[in-house]
Structure 1
Amino acid sequence: MLGLQPFTPNYQQPFSLTVNTFPGRMALRAGSKMLRPGKDFIAEPNSGGGKAKGAVLYLDTLIFTAETAGTRFLRQELRHRIVVLRQRDAERIRTLPDSFAQHLDEAAARITLVSKLTASLSEQQAHQPRLHVLASSWPAATQYASTVVQAILRPNYPTQNVIGYLPGSVSPDSFIVITAHYDHLGHMGRRTYFPGANDNASGTAMLLELAAYYAQRQERPTMSIVFMAFGAEEAGLIGSHYFVDHPVFPLDRIRFLINLDLLGTGSDGITVVNGRQLAAPYHLLQQLNDSQHFVNSITARGRAANSDHFYFSERGVPAFFIYTRGGIAAYHDVDDRADTLPLTAFSGVFKLLVEFVDNLLRD
């Protein structure tokens, strides 16, 4: 494996998770219009499965301000209706008494009109089909709709982290760690696929480039360099959390961790999560870039639980999460494809990371 050595059998650290999946049919008709899965609609992460058809009921937004409207809504029969609501109203439901959300759960299906389709994963499953539909794709004043969704909740779904390392020549029990998540969202139904090119094939590609570079260098690194590809990041940072709870080497021996995610663009430079917390290494990164102009700009950000660095940081491991800015805006959708990635800063980020890691190895 690129000349790396394993910490575990076959380089793998197995674990399992519970995840809601959509392996089969997925269809939605609004009036006479058939909507396209992935383009016009997707399933909510916790959508249940089944068939639903019936008259459309548009949520009366007066329920948020008028008691009489709320009472009227709670008395409506929803079992054979498909409720349609706007995204902001779906969020506002949480501000009402629980009886409103419970009543919505009685509907045959629930449709939320959104401005962008952004898919995700869930470890739970509702009992009714729940869909997100592009507001621009939903025919105005639709009075009848039907949907079919196959959803299977899979407990104990098996996956793994993949880990390899290069042993250090001077301090083999001290580690520089480079991470990226290799998972994405996969299929939703038979015809919809989320490629995940920027999130996070780009970060995984950078990890592999760095692994190949350091494995092929004639001189061994002074400290051990570990390359970890995490599974189940999209399900809630589960792979990295599992590693932190079951480390294959001591966390307190990690001298620095660099997490790579969303590296397919870069016209606006890069952002460094934890840059505000870790002033000295951030200053080093800035100095290296100022002297050789690897990327357009570097921006520091504070603590954030938005990628696999997070649980390491929570355990006291010094860690950066680096991502690129600018370029395409595709994210968790069918348009995050390899052929759309400009890779504007990919080469520059690679060179900057090599300089940064080499400086860490000299400390």
Structure 2
Amino acid sequence: MAEMQEASFAPDYTVPPGEILEEYLETAGMSQAELAQRTGLAPKTVNQIVQGKAPLTQDTALRLERVLGRPAHFWNQLEVEHQEALARARAAEAERQQLDWMKRFPLKKMRDLGWINARRDKREQLDELLRFFGVHSSEQWAEVWENHQVAYRQSQRFEAEAEAVSAWLRQGERQGHARRCGRYDASAFRSLLKECRALTREAPEVFQPRLQERCAEVGVAVEFVPSLPKTRVSGATRWLTSNKALIQLSLRYRSDDQLWFSFFHEAGHVLLHGKREIFVEGGNGLDGEKEEEANRFAADLLIPRREWQGFIASGRPSLEQVGDFAERMGIAPGIVVGRLQHERIVGWEWGNGLKRRFQWDHEG
């Protein structure tokens, strides 16, 4: 015969001590006012215990023992079991809410990218997600995300999901913290950016490690992080420490002009704006002045203003002229095409053959 085990009894309900007390009073024919008089408790206290609005303390249990004849441990045990049942109910409700919260994240994509491990058990998957964010619960996640949400630039055309954006930002932080960097040197970083213009002409396998290595030397972690569904962010900037800045890029538009403009735009935030500020670029900026400053910084650094004005003075250039100008500026021709498109000198379809397209390794 198979061995049998006794099942533990864990009821999903509890009887408040006040209900038992009320039954005793009815049996004894005693009013709450009389009980208050006999125990020396305030009538309000007795009523709150009966109504379940106040706990039955050990002192009260001793008083009830003398008045009603039931030992103090009886009343104490009722209170312990009641409070334990309430705690279990609160924990179960909190877990249910957190499991619902977890459903709002693109978990499959995060697992595919290796950001989190796959867990069969929902509670274990929840723990995995919380560890990813480095928070105790969804409430702490909300408090941390609130700092980033203020900075998020919501697109005029799309509504991004806060959970997906927060996961993308968090992965950038994790990668940034893991990257070894020197102390931030603003002067050295500004000088380095002029050198970085030449990297725009290189292939990703050349420019990516070189860009990250050189920027890390001057205290700036540059992290390339694949975007998640419904994030719609192109870049972000914030400070991990007082001597370590983070520039995070997503390849949102997959073209060299957009990628490099995003990088130099974020670099502008690092150099021009405060260390306590967070900038997340996704479309229509809330802080227009600082966004415009970063835009001008990127545009002028990639193509000096005087050179640009001379180039467009004759109107719409030819593709050959774009190539020659890019060669003279020492930048990728796609950047020149993107600038012409942005300023409406040419249409959005013109010259796209000069742009270089990128994709992530996992998409190949």
Relative to the length of structure 1, the TM-score reads 0.23
What TM-score comes out, normalization by structure 2 length? Answer: 0.23
Of structures 1 and 2, the larger Rg is shown by 2
User: Relative contact order, CA 8 A, sep 6+: which one is greater?
Assistant: 1
| Larger strand share, 1 or 2 | 1
